[in-house]
């Protein structure tokens, strides 16, 4: 341990030097009134420079800046890589003597960021560098040059302990003439046994070989990762983001998007990348927050979610996007909107009474014209006034002209027969209105000279378009539609019935309308997670007004002009940065989808739009899918990922659940996906799952008592997983038990883990949706130590309290 302490001291001394250097550089640049240029620092110096910058944070927030070491035999060749380490993976033929003794030729320390000493010799190798790969890849079966692999536990500047694994136990190796010591009994098990908190830890010191292959897979095209619960898919996805940035920072300056199923999982995983020394360029977003300005957390009931997620919605939305204008046509009043901007007029909000009595306000945007969703909106506060849209009356050249409803209808149909987004068709509609009025005016034949005729026509147009009656009519008759407004319009059962004819059945259409009616007539109500994908689709169908272009995010290492931003004076939080990046970007260079099995076809389309030019990493487990139609989702997924070549990996080891819990969960897997294999659990605790059965009346008291019991038995967190409809109830049951325990709806438990869990009424969870058994499988695989299953009457528990679903 003393050896490692000595090394760590050296590392910190070097980092301090680099901080001083960085400060000097900054001051110097400021003094000379100029700043650095791209490439002013050599790449490797820049790395050390960055290490200096991050030192304080890593030091304060994360326990182990330096976490690993490998002792290596001499390699086949004598070449050194850019990180200063020898490149050969295999030992030289004579590295091992006949009597099975060997000398350690090279020792490398691995850490979160690379640090070079003043001679450019590696003091710490970045965990993502090629030279660090043997630390992760080496196994006793295939050890390569590694003799001893050491995990170092340190806190700040202090080494707390070390754990060694011998990769070549048959060798007697010496280091500088002394025998190689072996300390501790395995770092992985120590890591897995630790209590869980409400945030995920990185696994950088114990990445396993099969995981390392995924993390370091070439970025090209699509990397698909399958694996059961607890195999480290989420962890691997996050480490892969950090790895890709390390590999090709310039390329990924285009941004990496990580799509997560729930805000809870976003919050749970948010700290991992900073702990790996990466803060920028990566946006972790919940699938309900992918459209700017939307922060959807509400869940639809399963029957509604099935409709909203289905690819059939594409057709319904197409009809709605065009049909929404019909609310504005005919009748004695129109549905006014904020349009007019494309016609060069200031937007003016108008409201009108629809013929069927429904009141609607299109074009309204809760955030104003430049609000976060950027979809346009009113830009003045003029009081609403009613405009008739069943006829157009204007005065031109001193004559009164009128277009009646049938003519207006015909013009609208002609314009809508084009394929362009509805909002972008407005200028064409305007032109056709003017043509029709021109014809009506009888002025067309007045001049035979084409030049004079054109002049006349142009002054006619000018005459009309400067009239309030005309612009007002156009705004009301062809308002600029916003996605929210159209979605809200779909809350009208009669209208939605028309738009969904021959696509949805009557029951589906009615349920959908009722759900969307909650958005209210102005569309400002709370969105559900599934609504967000519909908004995104509508944005495409309607055509958004062009957004102001924002400056592209600069990579600090490419552009040292922003040196002061690097200094740890005011650190932007991960969330702030993600939000800023998100506001500036709609497409990314790499997209990582976590829990990919849960994306609905509509969500795949939304995610696909954000990565049209991207490379992808897609991780998931079909057995945990809460989507009811896997074939339909697979089709949408293929469309999003395109024809890019795919590289597939499978993770096989369950690091989360002890064997006792994994065994129980496997019974449900067998029912949900017959023939599918469970991942192999690496450890066992000797504690079997506990069963408690109650009558429905006693459920609250029993769940509370079981949660309390588990809180006494574990140091970390306890999760109580219930069917979605019991979420709020369950939170009340647990009131006063403290913040180590949380209540979760089954769909919210996705990806999370707790020291112990209480799963309440398996049958209730399984019966909640067509994918219920798979959702139950997710619920049963959240605990790292202990599991209690509470059964109610509908679970038909046996004498031992074991519910029907979990018996042999």
Ligand X SMILES: Nc1ncnc2c1ncn2[C@@H]1O[C@H](COP(=O)(O)OP(=O)(O)OP(=O)(O)O)[C@@H](O)[C@H]1O
Q: Which is nearer to ligand X, 186 or 418 (CB)?
A: 186
Binding mask 638-677 for ligand X (x = CB under 6 A): -----------------xx---------------------
- Contact between 65 and 59 (Cβ < 8 Å): yes
Q: Which is nearer to ligand X, 320 or 672 (CB)?
A: 672
Q: How far is the CB of 771 from ligand X (least distance, A)?
A: 15
Of residues 603-642, those binding ligand X (CB under 6 A): 621, 624
Q: Which is nearer to ligand X, 541 or 633 (CB)?
A: 633
Q: How far is the CB of 191 from ligand X (least distance, A)?
A: 4
Judged by CB under 6 A, does residue 208 bind ligand X? yes
Known binding residue 772? Answer is: no
Integer CA distances (angstroms), 561 to 40, 41, 398, 470, 554, in order: 10, 12, 63, 52, 10
Known binding residue 788? Answer is: no
Q: Find the binder of ligand X among 337, 751, 762, 797 (CB under 6 A).
A: 751
Q: CA 626, 627, 631: angle at the middle one, nearest 5?
A: 135
Angle between helices 630-641 and 601-609 (to 10 degrees): 10
> How many C-beta neighbours within 10 Å does residue 23 have?
13
Judged by CB under 6 A, does residue 230 bind ligand X? yes
Known binding residue 339? Answer is: no
Q: How far is the CB of 348 from ligand X (least distance, A)?
A: 50
Task: Report the candidate in 700, 699, 668, 665 with the shortest Cα–Cα distance to residue 783.
Answer: 665
Q: Total binding residues for ligand X by CB under 6 A?
A: 24
Write out the two tokens for 413: 């149909």
Q: Where does this chain touch ligand X (CB under 6 A) — which range of 229-237, 295-303, 330-338, 352-360?
A: 229-237
Q: Which is nearer to ligand X, 231 or 349 (CB)?
A: 231
Alpha carbons within 13 A on the beta-carbon side of 43: 7
> How many C-beta neighbours within 10 Å does residue 218 have?
10
Q: Which is nearer to ligand X, 234 or 335 (CB)?
A: 234
Task: Report the candidate in 596, 590, 588, 642 with the shortest Cα–Cα distance to residue 219.
Answer: 590
Q: How far is the CB of 68 from ligand X (least distance, A)?
A: 12
Q: Find the binder of ligand X among 122, 143, 232, 479 (CB under 6 A).
A: 232
Judged by CB under 6 A, does residue 203 bind ligand X? yes
Task: Report the candidate in 522, 226, 147, 246 with the shortest Cα–Cα distance to residue 365.
Answer: 522
Judged by CB under 6 A, does residue 231 bind ligand X? yes
Residues 6+ apart with CB under 8 A from 37: 560, 561
Integer CA distances (angstroms), 33 to 26, 28, 30, 41, 554, in order: 11, 9, 5, 18, 21
Report DSSP state, residue 379: -
Q: CA 328, 334, 338: angle at the middle one, nearest 5?
A: 85
Judged by CB under 6 A, does residue 746 bind ligand X? no
Judged by CB under 6 A, does residue 192 bind ligand X? yes
Q: Find the binder of ligand X among 154, 211, 223, 769 (CB under 6 A).
A: 211
Q: How far is the CB of 621 from ligand X (least distance, A)?
A: 5
Distance of alpha carbon 428 from its chain centroid, rounded? 38
Judged by CB under 6 A, does residue 757 bind ligand X? no
Q: Which is nearer to ligand X, 189 or 452 (CB)?
A: 189
Number of residues written out for the chain:
808
Q: Which is nearer to ligand X, 153 or 656 (CB)?
A: 656
Of residues 574-603, those binding ligand X (CB under 6 A): none
Strands across the sheet containing 158-166: 115-116, 122-126, 106-111, 66-72, 146-155, 158-166
Q: Where does this chain touch ligand X (CB under 6 A) — which range of 200-208, 393-401, 720-728, 793-801?
A: 200-208
Q: Where does this chain touch ligand X (CB under 6 A) — which range of 63-71, 125-133, 222-230, 297-305?
A: 222-230
Q: Where does this chain touch ligand X (CB under 6 A) — which range of 118-126, 202-210, 311-319, 576-584?
A: 202-210
Q: Find the binder of ligand X among 234, 260, 574, 625 (CB under 6 A).
A: 234
Token pair 């937007």 is found at: 347
Known binding residue 184? Answer is: no
Q: How far is the CB of 753 from ligand X (least distance, A)?
A: 6
Known binding residue 229? Answer is: yes
Judged by CB under 6 A, does residue 206 bind ligand X? yes
Q: Which is nearer to ligand X, 54 or 233 (CB)?
A: 233
What 384-387 contacts at long range (C-beta under 8 Å, 24+ apart), as own/partner pairs, is 384/336, 384/349, 384/350, 384/351, 385/350, 386/333, 386/334, 386/336, 386/350, 386/351, 386/352, 386/353, 387/333, 387/334, 387/336, 387/350, 387/352, 387/472, 387/473, 387/475, 387/476
157 phi, psi to nearest 5 deg: -90, 5
Q: Find the binder of ligand X among 165, 270, 753, 755 (CB under 6 A).
A: 753
Q: Find the binder of ligand X among 233, 306, 495, 726 (CB under 6 A).
A: 233
3 state DSSP class of 164 = strand
What is the Cα–Cα distance from 808 to 806, expressed in whole angstroms?
7
Q: Where does this chain touch ligand X (CB under 6 A) — which range of 231-239, 285-293, 483-491, 705-713?
A: 231-239
Q: How far is the CB of 64 from ligand X (least distance, A)?
A: 13
Q: Find the binder of ligand X among 68, 114, 134, 227 (CB under 6 A).
A: 227
Kind and range of the H or E run holding 412: helix 405-416
Q: How far is the CB of 192 from ligand X (least distance, A)?
A: 6
Q: How far is the CB of 85 from ligand X (least distance, A)?
A: 23
Known binding residue 762? Answer is: no
Q: Find the binder of ligand X among 175, 191, 432, 737 (CB under 6 A).
A: 191
Q: How far is the CB of 751 from ligand X (least distance, A)?
A: 4
Task: Report the candidate in 754, 787, 759, 767 with the shortest Cα–Cα distance to residue 671.
Answer: 767
Judged by CB under 6 A, does residue 719 bind ligand X? no
Distance of alpha carbon 510 from its chain centroid, rounded? 31
Cα torsion 555, 561, 562, 563 to 10°: value is: 110
Q: Which residues of 268-277 are buried (b: 16+ CB within 10 A; e: fewer)?
A: bbbbbbbbbb
Judged by CB under 6 A, does residue 190 bind ligand X? no
Q: Where does this chain touch ligand X (CB under 6 A) — which range of 49-57, 185-193, 280-288, 552-560?
A: 185-193
Binding site for ligand X (CB under 6 A): 188, 191-192, 201, 203, 206-208, 211, 227, 229-235, 621, 624, 655-656, 751, 753, 781
Residue list, annotated binding site for ATP = 227-234
Residue list, annotated binding site = 227-234
């Amino acid at each position: 341990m003393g050896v490692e302490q000595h090394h760590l001291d050296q590392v910190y001394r070097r980092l301090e030097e680099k901080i001083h250097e960085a400060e000097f550089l900054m001051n110097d640049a400021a003094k000379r009134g100029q700043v650095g240029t791209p490439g002013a620092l050599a790449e490797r110096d820049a790395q050390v420079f960055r290490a200096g910058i991050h030192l304080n944070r890593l030091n304060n927030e994360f326990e182990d800046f330096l976490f690993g070491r490998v002792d290596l035999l001499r390699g086949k060749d004598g070449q050194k890589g850019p990180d200063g380490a020898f490149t050969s993976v295999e030992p030289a033929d004579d590295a091992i003597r006949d009597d099975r003794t060997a000398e350690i030729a090279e020792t490398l320390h691995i850490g979160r960021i690379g640090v070079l000493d003043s001679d450019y010799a590696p003091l710490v190798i970045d965990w993502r560098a090629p030279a660090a790969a043997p630390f992760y890849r080496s196994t006793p079966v295939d050890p390569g040059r590694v003799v001893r692999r050491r995990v170092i536990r340190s806190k700040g500047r202090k080494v707390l302990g070390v754990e060694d694994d011998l990769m070549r136990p048959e060798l007697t190796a010496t280091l500088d003439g002394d025998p190689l010591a072996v300390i501790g009994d395995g770092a992985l098990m120590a890591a897995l046994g630790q209590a869980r908190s409400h945030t995920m830890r990185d696994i950088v010191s114990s990445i396993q070989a099969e995981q390392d292959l995924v993390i370091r897979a070439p970025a090209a095209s699509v990397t698909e990762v399958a694996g059961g619960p607890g195999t480290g898919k989420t962890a691997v996805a996050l480490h892969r983001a950090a790895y890709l940035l390390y590999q090709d920072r310039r390329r990924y300056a285009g941004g990496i998007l990580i799509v997560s199923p729930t805000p809870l999982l976003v919050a749970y995983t948010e700290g991992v990348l900073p702990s790996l020394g990466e803060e920028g360029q990566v946006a972790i977003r919940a699938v309900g927050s992918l459209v700017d300005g939307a922060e959807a957390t509400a869940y639809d009931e399963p029957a509604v979610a099935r409709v909203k997620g289905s690819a059939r919605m594409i057709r319904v939305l197409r009809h709605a996007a065009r049909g929404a204008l019909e609310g504005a046509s005919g009748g004695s009043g129109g549905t006014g909107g904020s349009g007019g901007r494309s016609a060069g007029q200031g937007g003016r909000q108008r409201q009108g009474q629809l013929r069927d009595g429904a009141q609607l306000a299109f074009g309204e945007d809760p955030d104003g014209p430049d609000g976060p969703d950027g979809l346009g909106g009113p830009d003045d506060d003029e009081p609403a006034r009613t405009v008739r849209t069943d006829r157009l009356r204007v005065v031109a050249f001193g004559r009164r002209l009128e277009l009646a409803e049938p003519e207006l209808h015909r013009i609208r149909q002609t314009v809508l027969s084009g394929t362009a987004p509805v909002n972008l068709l407005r200028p064409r509609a305007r032109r056709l209105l003017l043509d029709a009025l021109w014809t009506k005016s009888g002025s067309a034949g007045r001049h035979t000279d084409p030049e004079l005729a054109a002049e006349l026509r142009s002054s006619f147009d000018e005459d009309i378009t400067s009239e309030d009656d005309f612009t007002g009519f156009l705004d009301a008759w062809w308002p600029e539609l916003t996605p929210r407004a159209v979605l809200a319009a779909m809350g009208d059962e009669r209208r939605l019935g028309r738009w969904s004819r021959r696509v949805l059945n009557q029951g589906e259409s009615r349920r959908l309308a009722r759900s969307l009616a909650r958005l209210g007539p102005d569309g400002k109500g709370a969105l559900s997670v599934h609504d967000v994908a519909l908004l995104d689709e509508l944005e495409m169908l309607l055509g958004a007004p062009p957004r102001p272009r924002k400056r592209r995010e600069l990579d600090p290492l490419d552009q040292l002009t922003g040196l002061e931003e690097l200094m740890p004076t005011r650190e932007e939080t991960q969330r702030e940065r993600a939000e800023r990046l998100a506001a500036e970007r709609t497409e990314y260079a790499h997209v990582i989808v976590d829990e990919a099995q849960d994306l609905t076809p509509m969500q795949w389309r939304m995610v696909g739009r954000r990565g049209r030019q991207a490379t992808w990493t897609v991780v998931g487990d079909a057995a945990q899918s809460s989507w009811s139609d896997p074939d339909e989702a697979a089709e949408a997924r293929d469309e999003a990922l395109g024809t890019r070549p795919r590289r597939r990996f499978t993770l096989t080891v369950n690091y989360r659940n002890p064997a006792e819990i994994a065994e129980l969960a496997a019974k449900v897997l067998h029912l949900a996906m017959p023939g599918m294999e469970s991942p192999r659990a690496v450890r066992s605790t000797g504690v079997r799952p506990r069963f408690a059965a109650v009558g429905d009346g006693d459920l609250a008291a029993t769940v509370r008592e079981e949660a309390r019991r588990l809180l006494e038995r574990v140091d970390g967190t306890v999760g109580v997983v219930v069917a979605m409809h019991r979420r709020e109830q369950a939170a009340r049951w647990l009131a006063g038990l403290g913040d180590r325990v949380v209540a979760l709806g089954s769909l919210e438990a996705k990806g999370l883990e707790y020291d112990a869990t209480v799963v309440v009424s398996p049958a209730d969870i399984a019966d909640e949706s067509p994918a219920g058994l798979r959702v139950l499988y997710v619920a049963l695989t959240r605990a790292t130590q202990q599991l209690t299953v509470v059964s109610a009457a509908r679970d038909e528990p046996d004498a031992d309290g074991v519910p029907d679903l979990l018996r042999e």
